Amino acid sequence: MSLYAFSTNNTYSITNAQFNLSATVQGFLSLLQKYSKSLIWVKSIHAQIITNCVAIDQSLGTKLIRTYSDLSSLDDARSVFDQFSQPRTFLCNAMLSGYLRNERHRETLDLFRMMGSCNLEFDSYTFNYALKACMGLSDYEMGMEVIKSIVCKKMDKEKYLASLMINFLVKLRKIGDARRVFDMISERDVVCWNSMIGGYVQSGQFDEVFDMFFRMRDSGITPSPITMVSLIQACGRSGDMEIGKCVHGCVLEFGMGEDTFVLSALVDMYSNMGDIGYAHLVFETMPMRNLVSWNTMISGCIQNGLVHESFSLFRRLVTSGCGFDSGTIVSLIQGCALTADMESGKILHGCVIRRGFELNLIISTAIIDLYSKCGAIEQATFVFDRMKERNVITWTAMLVGLAQNGSAGDAMKLFHRMQAEGVVANSVTLVSLVHSCAYVGSPKEGRSTHAYLIRRGYTFDIVVTTALIDMYAKCGKINSAEFIQCIVCFV
């Protein structure tokens, strides 16, 4: 009989007769697997599990916890877990995994601590979930406790845990600690090497990136596409074209000349270094392209001032049937802003509305910047006021737009509104505000802004201090301008 028979008098129910045929653990496991997408059905099955006195089976309890967790019903999952007075490790892991998948990081760590206090056995999955929860909370101290436990139980030789420990420390910018963990690992696979190389890329230590790569090759480890992408990113960020071309040669030597992921990274590298011709050559010779490849090439053209070429690529993208996403639109809007092409910008704005992208924070911010640079400050304000969510970049884009279009008074009002909403300004916001004070010739507002800058620790920022000197000079406060200049020269 089908579980469709649950429905009686417009409510879901399960008859005992139906389950008499399968009132075994395996039968219930099969039913949970088959009807795992509906919470009400799962609860009905759970009720029958209790009725048939098989709720004490931990494998069945594990399946229930996982099913409830998949449905984001964590209270029900925890209720199942709490019924077991002596839970085994796999049952605890199911609950830990459920919390983690639902981003309940604190509850994950609370349960991990409870397992420790009850002397329950930890395995590699337990440590995996606990360390990922620490990563989610950026909790360095607890993460180090987990790492110490991993080392103490001699599980640091498990390659997945080893790379996870490195990734955790890299994310928290503890690159020295990450290197010490890496050096402790006796058997390193390509994932461990990639984690460490990627960490050095993120921290900007490009010499270490290549040193690790050469050590990796000396150890007999074959690089993966992720390895090569890390090297390519290091070249792009350091601006070293010569090494970048050497890495390109290595890509071909390692047989990755048709890997879309790696080739897209090469397009990005050449674009960032201003060699758009080479970027285009790599792009055109790619055997297969995905949306990331197209977006990278479009963004590269705009970055190098080739706005017309970016729109040609966009037309090719649309006709290729690959589709486009919010990233594509943002790049094109930025291109329109560079050339003050308001007509094309309006067409893209219409596309954004039709596609339902108007709630996208990044796109809305780009549209505000576009209209501001085209002198259409009313349209920019209209878009800004309709936004349900704003971040400091959005506020800054609007404030800069007002300041650049001669609405300095409105810019200062917007800044006060920004403060009232508890948004912390960044250096770009503050420089624009200082320029606004200079534009309206308001030394009172200028001093107030200067005091805010001192409180926020921007006193010795060269861009900010230059703007302050200009503001005081334009407001007729030459002595104040000279005083700031003397301080800067002294420092």
Beta strands in 24-82 (DSSP E): none
Query: pTM value?
Result: 0.78
Contact (Cβ atoms closer than 8 angstroms) between residue 105 and residue 133: yes
What type of residue is 382? F
Contact (Cβ atoms closer than 8 angstroms) between residue 352 and residue 363: yes
User: What is the distance between the alpha carbons of residues 22 and 50, in angstroms, rounded to a whole number?
Assistant: 14
CATH 1.25.40, domain 390-491, yes or no: yes
pLDDT of residue 53: 66
pLDDT of residue 440: 63
Q: Which residues contact 234 (CB under 8 A, 6 or more apart)?
A: 200, 201, 206, 209, 210
Closest listed residue to residue 332, CA positions, set 322, 318, 321, 320: 318
Q: What is the mean pLDDT of each run of 10 residues along the chain (491 residues)?
A: 37 44 68 85 84 76 92 93 92 95 95 93 94 95 93 82 92 93 87 94 95 95 96 94 95 94 97 95 95 96 95 93 89 94 93 83 93 94 92 91 84 87 83 75 72 69 73 73 60 47
pLDDT of residue 388: 87
User: What is the distance between the alpha carbons of residues 19 and 21, in angstroms, rounded to a whole number?
Assistant: 5
User: What is the distance between the alpha carbons of residues 91 and 61, in angstroms, rounded to a whole number?
Assistant: 7
User: What is the distance between the alpha carbons of residues 178 and 135, in angstroms, rounded to a whole number?
Assistant: 14
pLDDT of residue 21: 37
Cα–chain-centroid distance for residue 189? 26
- Pull the structure tokens for residue 334: 């930025």
- Pull the structure tokens for residue 33: 């697997």
pLDDT of residue 154: 84
Q: Which residues contact 305 (CB under 8 A, 6 or more apart)?
A: 338
Q: Where do runs of H (alpha helix) occur along 239-339?
A: 241-253, 260-272, 276-284, 291-303, 307-320, 326-339
pLDDT of residue 143: 94
Rounded (5°) CA angle 149-150-154: 115
Q: Where do runs of H (alpha helix) occur along 153-259?
A: 159-171, 175-184, 190-202, 206-218, 225-238, 241-253
What type of residue is 395? W
Task: Tokens 């509104």: give the residue.
Answer: 417
